[in-house]
Structure 1
Amino acid sequence: MPSPLYADRPAQPPEPGTVDALISQTRRLRGDVDAVRRDAVLDEDDPKNRWQRALCDLAVHQLDDLGAHLGQLKAGVPDEFVLSAGADLAEVEAGAEDDIEAASDPGAAYAGAAPARTGSLLSRVGSAEWNLLNDEVSWSDELYQIFGRNPESGPMSLDELPSMVFAEDQSVLQAMVTDCLIDGKPIDGEFRVVRTDGRVRTLHMMGEPVLDSDGCTASMWAVLRDVSELRRSERAVRESRDSLQRSRHIERTERRVAVELQEAVLPPWRGSLSFAHGGPGAPLDVAGHYLPAATTGLIGGDWYDALALPDGDALLTVGDLTGHGVSATSSMAMLLGALRGMAVAGIRPGALMGHLNQLLETSVQPALGSAVCCRYEPASQTLTWAQAGHPAPLLFRDGTGRALKRPDGVLLGATTGAAYEEAAVRLLPGDLLVLHTDGLTRRGGLDETGTQRLLDLAPRLTGARDAQDCVRSVVEEFGEAPREDDACVMVVRVGH
């Protein structure tokens, strides 16, 4: 946990050279500790020297780990190891604070007293020696704290020790002790113990046999360290990393499915689409484009569509559903399929909006949506349209642009039994319609400025060669700007 000295100081990124200086300091400190460790080997029979050497060994291991961590910090954090949120680290720190087992009184831990909150290494490291010749056992005060054992109960023999070891780990302890006593191998391993208070702790034990003059094992000494908080921290980081990797995999998969679904539903044409009606009236030149959101990698529920109807009319529509990802694109596919079917059946825009509203109300995946639906009759050059909480189409004529007056209509899925009014406007040869979703022009919850920017494109749009050139102009103006949401734009040009 952070030192209290720095609790009121915000974390800052290391300045250039700081990590290199820390690495140099760590190397120097490791050399100093290693020198102390070599001096401690002079008298193997002195328990104090063995204890000192064991602590030095532990300190060297920790400094090696610190050097490795600083090297990783200098190299930079790998992308796959970045934590998705601060909550995991908070849990680690909270768990570590709860797990510190230190008290000035060796019996405080077993007695249920609150442990002193300190990060001292000595508070989590204890030593023991088991003499095989006289069956004497000696424990340090710290070891009683680690096991939560009353010092008045005395130390535990090697035969009694497994009674506190986690059942699955008893074989691990037995193997280490056997290798030490029979084969003279050093001890270095971990096992879990169940303290007298019922808490499970993870201990790391290091030690070796002490030989007599005949080379036989006379005793076994060991240093035991409570590494529970360290292992919990490592596990939390590992689980956080795995969770992040799973989340990224799910996100990539969801995006791929959403893109494929969107591409399967939206109009297959690219570039301009000409509606040749075969009867009286000017044909239409149509082009559309989808712009993804800049703030999210997920595909939304925006759509644009142009469809030639059986009676010679043309269906023109754009819309937007709330949400992102597969749920939004699947709802969009359902809504757009219903819209096309009702338009082919001859249902007028106002009634069509009412049916879409009812469809969203009864959908398994509730959502809100905005839409504009237009039906163009080439014989009379009349555009009849209705809207549901959606920006009005923009009409460009003779080098200027204006927004059509919107008929009444609430958001799809917002209320039961909503009625949608219709409006009609006669289009002239050369007229240009721009239909778009609000994600194109909205910034900070407002779209007045964006709509005006779109209207200011009138000279470029009316002077363009075709609808596709108009779309390119719109994308050049709005495509690079950060957007809170994805967007669609569709341009309809009335031929001569």
Structure 2
Amino acid sequence: MPSHLFADRPAPQPPERDAVDALINRTRLLRGDVDAVRRDTSVTTDDDDPRLRWQRALCELAVHQLDDLGEHLGQLRDGIPDSAAADPTGEAGSRTPYEPPTGSLLSRVGSAEWNLLTDEVSWSDELYQIFGREPGTGALSLDELPSVLLAEDQPVLTSMVTDCLVDGRPIDGEFRILLPDGAMRTLHMTGEPVLDSEGCTASMWAVLRDVSRLRRGQHVVGRTQDTLRRQEHMARAEHRIAVELQEAVLPPWRGSLPIPGRGASGLDVAAHYLPSGSSELIGGDWYDALPLPDGKTLLTVGDLTVGDLTGHGIPATSAMAMLLGALRGMAMAGVEPGQVMGHLNQLIECSPQPALGSAVCCRFDPATGTLVWAQAGHPAPLLFRNGVGRPLPAPDGVLLGAASGVTYKQDHVELRPGDVLVLHTDGLTRQSDRATGPDALLELAPRFAQADTAQDCARIVVEELGAAERLDDACVLVARVEA
């Protein structure tokens, strides 16, 4: 095949061999480093994590590109070997004389020249292999070439050929072809017009490279990126909905709880929600302080995990809202705390989604100062009196949803003016480095004794424990008995 030389410039000179060898060595080192990263990513990748799948796909793509670069540089250094001279008998394994080693660069790059003056077409042996044609069938002319392209890519080839032959522009573009066996390949075509001595286009010369593997890798990367973007968008939307739902269900209690037509309830209440330090998703924790029609007050906190037991997101928040609504309804109807826990356990048991929950339910009577309460696998309320704190002895109660037909016991304690009652979920004291339990809260007893309001006490809790790295989200509710 004649060289593609312009009449007005000399042929390019080959690069120095030592320079090419240095580039090859650098490429091999980089390829080894990327391959090591790829192996590590493959070992540690969770197939359910789109971000890690995207990272693995990028590594695969980078390795393929470096392989191609190394083969390009090797060909630049050594030149294209004469397959016929290397094996004149054509008996190299099972390959025919024009077939280079499977998967090598030579099997993916071929050249062609279409002579406009003689209508002669010259293809390299590699190009026959790329198009899946036997050399005996002859090369495709420029008029025949579009017949093997996908219909939507034929205008692309027509435009490239027209620009080259009519306007003398270089060729640079891609199109897809269908092989005789129905397989599809993506080819990248570069070329130039070959001018005669008068500067007119005499022929068109082109190099065609099979980039199917490269485009498949890029497609995997792009598809994974799209999946990641969709999941991130969905996560942001879920977080926003969960926050709005939680804010609607858990208003910030601050100050005395009024009872319609009866004045104050005898309690100064404040509550606070603390998100997890390791998750941006809203969980199923709740708190509530509700004045009841009989003059008593409902105090409750709880934690619900739903489905996959992550305890976060819209499923957990919506299930929490349902459970809290049922709890409020039963409390308004005068149901005792122990019976409330039993009915909530039955409600979770009938739910179509598996769930587990822990809760504490208290009913305070300001007329007698009596607090009646029950718990379901939950940390006991902490009572602070005269600068000393202690957990209340817990009556029997298992986690909600853990067993059927469970009876929840209840207990009572007398509260005095100035007493501070702290209800919390266990995420408040479970930190990433240790589980401190109630001790971290009990140590705040002297500061609670000096506080004037429940809001001051809640602020102390947030200052001491709110900045800690927690494994889960948490709620705290502080009730201070007024004189």
- When the two structures are superposed, what TM-score results if normalisation uses the length of structure 2? 0.77
Match of 2:149 in 1: 165
Conservation of the 8 A alpha-carbon contact between 2:383 and 2:420: yes
Give CA deviations for 1:81-110 in whole Å, capped at 9, x if unaligned: xx9522134345557889989999799899
Conservation of the 8 A alpha-carbon contact between 1:275 and 1:285: no
SS in 2 for 1:483: coil
Match of 1:217 in 2: 201
Q: CA RMSD in A?
A: 3.6
Query: Which region of structure 1 is more displaced relative to structure 2, 388-397 or 260-269?
Result: 260-269
Match of 1:191 in 2: 175
Match of 1:229 in 2: 213
Instruction: Give distance in 2, aligned partners of 1:157 and 1:384.
Output: 94
Instruction: Give distance in 2, aligned partners of 1:246 and 1:343.
Output: 42
Deviation at 1:333, TM superposition (A): 1.2
Q: Does 1:353 align with 2:332?
A: no
Letter in 2 for 1:259: V
Match of 2:279 in 1: 296
SS in 2 for 1:439: helix
Give CA deviations for 1:388-411 in whole Å, capped at 9, x if unaligned: 111111111222111112112122
SS in 1 for 2:315: helix
Letter in 2 for 1:368: L
Deviation at 1:114, TM superposition (A): 11
Aligned residues: 422
Q: 1:467 aligns with which of 447, 454, 460?
A: 454
Q: 1:394 aligns with which of 382, 386, 398?
A: 382
Matches within 5 A, 1:35-74: 43-44=5-6, 49=11
Instruction: Give distance in 1, aligned partners of 2:256 and 2:159.
Output: 78
Consecutive unaligned residues of structure 2, counting only runs of 5 or more, are 16-48, 72-79, 85-89, 306-310
Match of 1:86 in 2: 52
Instruction: Give distance in 2, aligned partners of 1:115 and 1:329.
Output: 60
CA 1:277–1:380 in 2, change beyond 3 Å: closer, same or farther? farther
Instruction: Give distance in 2, aligned partners of 1:349 and 1:480.
Output: 33
Match of 1:260 in 2: 244
Conservation of the 8 A alpha-carbon contact between 1:277 and 1:378: no
Q: 2:393 aligns with which of 405, 408, 421?
A: 405
Between the aligned residues of both structures, percent identity stands at 62
Give CA deviations for 1:216-271 in whole Å, capped at 9, x if unaligned: 533211111223333334433433333333333222222221111111111353x3
Letter in 2 for 1:290: Y
Match of 2:165 in 1: 181
CA 1:222–1:278 in 2, change beyond 3 Å: closer, same or farther? closer
Q: 2:465 aligns with which of 472, 475, 478?
A: 478
Instruction: Give distance in 1, aligned partners of 2:339 and 2:233.
Output: 43
Conservation of the 8 A alpha-carbon contact between 1:110 and 1:145: no
Matches within 5 A, 1:443-462: 443=431, 447=435, 449-462=436-449
CA 1:443–1:89 in 2, change beyond 3 Å: closer, same or farther? closer
Match of 2:24 in 1: none
Q: Does 1:370 align with 2:336?
A: no
Give CA deviations for 1:67-86 in whole Å, capped at 9, x if unaligned: xxxxxxxxxxxxxxxx9522
Give CA deviations for 1:36-64 in whole Å, capped at 9, x if unaligned: xxxx99x5379x948989xxxxxxxxxxx
Match of 2:319 in 1: 331
Give CA deviations for 1:298-357 in whole Å, capped at 9, x if unaligned: 111111100110011110000111121222211111111111111000111111111111
CA 1:110–1:232 in 2, change beyond 3 Å: closer, same or farther? farther
SS in 2 for 1:191: strand
Match of 2:402 in 1: 414
Match of 1:58 in 2: none
Q: 1:437 aligns with which of 416, 419, 425?
A: 425
Q: 1:132 aligns with which of 105, 108, 116?
A: 116
Give CA deviations for 1:259-301 in whole Å, capped at 9, x if unaligned: 11111111353x3234579889981111111111111111111
Deviation at 1:132, TM superposition (A): 2.8
Instruction: Give distance in 1, aligned partners of 2:329 and 2:95.
Output: 74
Letter in 2 for 1:312: G
Letter in 1 for 2:185: R
Instruction: Give distance in 1, aligned partners of 2:222 and 2:470.
Output: 35
Match of 1:321 in 2: 304
Consecutive unaligned residues of structure 1, counting only runs of 5 or more, are 1-39, 54-82
Structure 1 stretches (4+) deviating beyond 6 angstroms?
50-53, 95-111, 276-282
SS in 2 for 1:337: helix
Q: 1:311 aligns with which of 272, 277, 294?
A: 294
